[in-house]
Structure 1
Amino acid sequence: MYSLPLMPQHIIAAGTFVLVVALPALYRALLPKPIPGIPYKKGSDRRILGDVQDVLKWNYETKEIWSYMRRLAVELDSPVIQVFMRPFGKPWVIVNDFREAHDIQMFRSSDFDRARVLEDIFGVLLPSCHVWMPTNDKFRAHRNLIRDTMSPAFLNGIVAPALHERCQNMLELWKERARLAQGRPFEGDHDIFRATLDIILAATFELEAGTISTHKKHLSGLKEMKLPDGQDLPAVFPEINDPKEFTSIRSLLDSVEIGLNSPLPTPHMKFALSFYPELSAARKYKDEMIGQRVQRAWDKFYANPDAQGSVHCAMDLLIQRQAQMAKKENRDMTYDIQAIKGELFGFIAAGHETTSTTICWAIKYLTEYQEVQKILRDKLRETHHCAFAAGRLPSADEIVSNTTAYLDAFIEENHRCGNTVPTIVRHTINDTTILGHKIPKGTDVFMLTNGPSYQAPSFSVDETLRTKSSQDGKGKFGNWSSEDIDQFSPDRWLVSEGNGEVRFDARAGPAHPYGVGQRGCFGSKFAQLELKVILTLIVWTFELKPIPAALAGFEGHDKNTKRAQKVYIRLSKVD
């Protein structure tokens, strides 16, 4: 027997039946899958895109992302919430509790590791850098390779003098800008980014980018320029092309935003770095530049591994160390070129953006809080009384050898309020718990540093829900008073001793500017040195005068860091 072929109307009817039955099931399958018991925004689990459209709307209105997560946690009245930011992927877990964040980073490495989201982005740009690697033997080998770049001998003896010299270049440029602006405010963030990249390129590769010098040379040749009529209107300087050394590296660093804003970060980053002309050329320049400097260091230390006074940058330090190890072990000198290139460029990528952004926030707080600026200048003069009496800048050695408690307090308060890095991310490598909530393996956990317990009153948490290590940590850090937690006050970090001495207390209250534990920021000592030297020289040299409200404000822009939307300065030379 033969079956009769289906007529078109039969096909249509069958297809319609399948669609009616299958589409609702398919729709339900594509909806977010909440983690049981963890609060989330009502209704977001019934949208395929989950919370994405709400976050995009918030970002369009404010240019921020992580402030939305903070607000949602407060609305849900919970220190642990979940958001659905990856269509067809697992929810993100958001933690708003300092003690829990500290405990996860310090004591729970068996359950939490580096977030996979970092590998999606930095694994392409920095394929041989430990920043994104899981915590394994390869990660430890890479960290061991560059450990000496954070030694006091290298930082204080090599980096600090170079940092001091190049910061003075920026101050000289600002003198030219102030002369031409004639009392008007002008944008300061671009110069800060230029100067810090000049600094880190010199410290890492002994590369003289000359970005600041290029601008200074051009402006010093101008007697005057066209200015707006009002004294409160910003001066706009002539456009000047930055050197290739700056633009190439800066283009690569900015490419991180491609991955951050893409639903398919890894393939998107690979395509961009290979086929976007600007990025392809920048990557080629970067590879050639590093390769040349590796060869130069190799030639320097191959025959004489113990050459004294020959280390001028991190590249020299790494190659010399490899040569010394080979000599000690009586073998031919070898080195992992890809690891060295990856780690040193990663050092630039991670350090430049965060330090530049942090200095921009510091400039804003010094401008807004004139009394804080005055106190800081007075305290620096007390510390460096010999330099003040001689009418000169404190030297690099004087700055690194002396401690000014108020400067340390200002820097820490700037970290807390400026909030350059609003979240610390980890990935669960086992099923675990956070404050009593079961968290499945493979979940990205974002620990916010911009909300409750850091910048707003803490949530009330049942102590029995904490781990033993978290309970044992109670009282090791202070808590901020709810009365002034939202205010900028360096004094909160200062403690008066019985003898009248005032010291800085890093444990006065919650803050996580660099993260903690084995996956904390490797370059934190370098960053602290930069901040200490640069802020000392700026405050010593200039008075940052008040600026009009239209050019002020503390709105942020979440990119690869949380940058300030507006960074204007009005300078006068300190008498």
Structure 2
Amino acid sequence: MRALSVFSVLIMVQPIPGIPYNKHAAKSIFGDIPDIKRESPGNLLSWIAAQSRRHISPIFQVWLGPLTKPTVVIADFQEGQNILLRRKELDRSSFMSNVLSGEAKSFHITLKTGPQWKAQRRLLQDLKTPAFLHRVAAPNIYKTALDAVLDFGFVDAAPMRALIPEVELLVSMSAANVMAEQNSQHDSDRCIQGRMDRRNLEIPILQASERSKTQFRAVDNEEKHVKSTIDLMVRRLNSVMEKEGHLLPDWIETMRAEFIADDQAVQQRLFDSIRTFHIAASSEGRLPTHSEICDANIPYLDAVIEEMPRLDHTATSQDRECKEDTVILGHVIPKGTTVIVPYKGPSYTEPGYEIEERLRSPSSRKQPPILPDRWLVRDEKGNDEYNASAGPTLPFGLRLRGCFNRKLAYLEMKLLITLLIWSFEFQKCPENLSSYGGITTLTRKPVQCYERLKIR
């Protein structure tokens, strides 16, 4: 027994001196895992935010697995931004590489920064160009935007939908009931229905014919004929082979509407801003086209798009690994230590901590609920301008290791929000169906995602 106790002490990983931690976790082979499962099951991000408040510190350490090294958490926006932007002694962590390598061993997100990472990322470089985003991605997103809204009412995740009692009524009807309903129709009904059936068949045929003609006319223009990512990659590969294998030169990667539904003033201002800009579509009684939306410059729409991921936390955090001993907020962090920068908690969605001047210039302010105005500044004419760096947010990371397709994400949100706000009024849901809670997996997923829609 004595030998077992000595062995347990030897295998325990010691905490980093001077950085707050849970004393009992440092003495347990399971670290902080039991506390996470008990206090915040399925929601690691909320637990980490609570630890910062518990230790009253912007820096602390946790043990996220049995017999693992401590992980350092930086719960401060300014310091986190500095780590992601300027600290070359930190790189992609081995922890995240191990999580993702099973499904995507050679994908650039799992690789350390270097020649192989650059080569893998270069394979996808064309997918973030304006030509691809506007000509390929935008039309497809546009076509499916309203289908996504219909999905809210018809998928199995919505047991309160009106469709269920209607289906139950049909299931309960016998063949005799159905025949009686059919026989009750007037003779004129059958005549009209037959003509409508024929008309309904003619229209899709004509539409399909027109689409085919348009596609054939566009075949000579290869760039516009691209319809998917695979199309683009195959065409580029052919071009590469024609150039004797040389790679082409460098070119300059979940919306939650509860925030809008819960603040009707924000929603109304957003609706007015969109309608005011798209005057032609409004006067013609139609939806704006995907090209009109892509080209639109609506500062308040851009501000709402920036504010939603700040509050939603779909990406829960960024992780880095120290390539050498380094100093963060006055503490020496050993080589090989994983550093996590969470996107929720102090200095993001609640007041931050004052930090001594000798360590860093203090930066903290109270964070209100959804406030798109934080992203707007006035120009010399007094008009609103969108400023993407005005508020505390890091939903896509920063610099080289930031999200590769962030432009696609912004474009998707711009199209979806424009079409949804144009077509529907988002009304506040009952409290039992309106929760901001989430479950942390690879990303953070909402526990509830119900919307109460009213056609405008």
Query: Match for residue 70 of structure 2?
Result: 91
Cα shift readout 1:47-87 (whole Å, capped 9, x = no counterpart) = 22221110111233xx4111111111122121110011222
Deviation at 1:328, TM superposition (A): 2.5
> Residues 347 and 365 of structure 2 are in contact (CA less than 8 Å); yes or no, is this contact kept in structure 1?
no
Query: Match for residue 416 of structure 2?
Result: 534
Deviation at 1:306, TM superposition (A): 8.8
1:44 aligns with 2:22: no
SS of 1:94's equivalent? Answer: strand
Deviation at 1:159, TM superposition (A): 1.1
Q: 2:114 aligns with which of 136, 151, 156?
A: 136
* Aligned amino acid, residue 57 of structure 1: R
Alpha-carbon separation, structure 1, partners of 2:150 and 2:331: 55
Deviation at 1:44, TM superposition (A): 2.1
Deviation at 1:364, TM superposition (A): 1.2
State how 1:265-414 maps to structure 2 within 5 Å: 307-329=222-244, 356=254, 359=255, 361=256, 363-414=257-308
1:161 aligns with 2:142: no
Query: Structure 1 residues 37, 223: closer, same or farther in 2, change over 3 A?
Result: closer
Q: 1:64 aligns with which of 43, 52, 58?
A: 43
> Residues 305 and 324 of structure 1 are in contact (CA less than 8 Å); yes or no, is this contact kept in structure 2?
no
Q: 1:500 aligns with which of 372, 382, 386?
A: 382
Query: Match for residue 193 of structure 1?
Result: none
Query: Match for residue 252 of structure 1?
Result: none
> Residues 305 and 327 of structure 1 are in contact (CA less than 8 Å); yes or no, is this contact kept in structure 2?
no
* Aligned amino acid, residue 101 of structure 1: G
Deviation at 1:134, TM superposition (A): 0.5
Alignment root-mean-square deviation, CA:
2.7
Deviation at 1:126, TM superposition (A): 1.0
Q: TM-score, normalised by structure 2?
A: 0.82
Query: Match for residue 32 of structure 1?
Result: 13
> Residues 271 and 421 of structure 2 are in contact (CA less than 8 Å); yes or no, is this contact kept in structure 1?
yes
Query: Structure 1 residues 391, 173: closer, same or farther in 2, change over 3 A?
Result: farther
Deviation at 1:546, TM superposition (A): 2.1
State how 1:449-488 maps to structure 2 within 5 Å: 449-466=343-360, 481-482=365-366, 485-488=367-370
Any gaps of 5 or more consecutive residues in structure 1? 1-18, 188-218, 228-303, 336-350
Q: 2:426 aligns with which of 544, 550, 562?
A: 544
Q: TM-score, normalised by structure 1?
A: 0.65
Query: Match for residue 104 of structure 1?
Result: 83
Q: 1:115 aligns with which of 62, 71, 93?
A: 93
SS of 1:406's equivalent? Answer: helix
* Aligned amino acid, residue 535 of structure 1: I
Alpha-carbon separation, structure 2, partners of 1:549 and 1:389: 37
Any gaps of 5 or more consecutive residues in structure 2? 170-218
> Residues 306 and 320 of structure 1 are in contact (CA less than 8 Å); yes or no, is this contact kept in structure 2?
no
Q: 2:35 aligns with which of 54, 62, 74?
A: 54
Alpha-carbon separation, structure 2, partners of 1:318 and 1:108: 33
Cα shift readout 1:431-484 (whole Å, capped 9, x = no counterpart) = 111111111111111001101111122211223324xxxx7xx9xxxx6742xx
Alpha-carbon separation, structure 2, partners of 1:312 and 1:54: 49
Query: Structure 1 residues 69, 309: closer, same or farther in 2, change over 3 A?
Result: closer
Deviation at 1:155, TM superposition (A): 0.5
Deviates more, 1:528-537 or 1:25-34: 25-34
Query: Match for residue 150 of structure 1?
Result: 128
SS of 1:463's equivalent? Answer: coil
> Residues 405 and 503 of structure 1 are in contact (CA less than 8 Å); yes or no, is this contact kept in structure 2?
yes
SS of 1:27's equivalent? Answer: helix
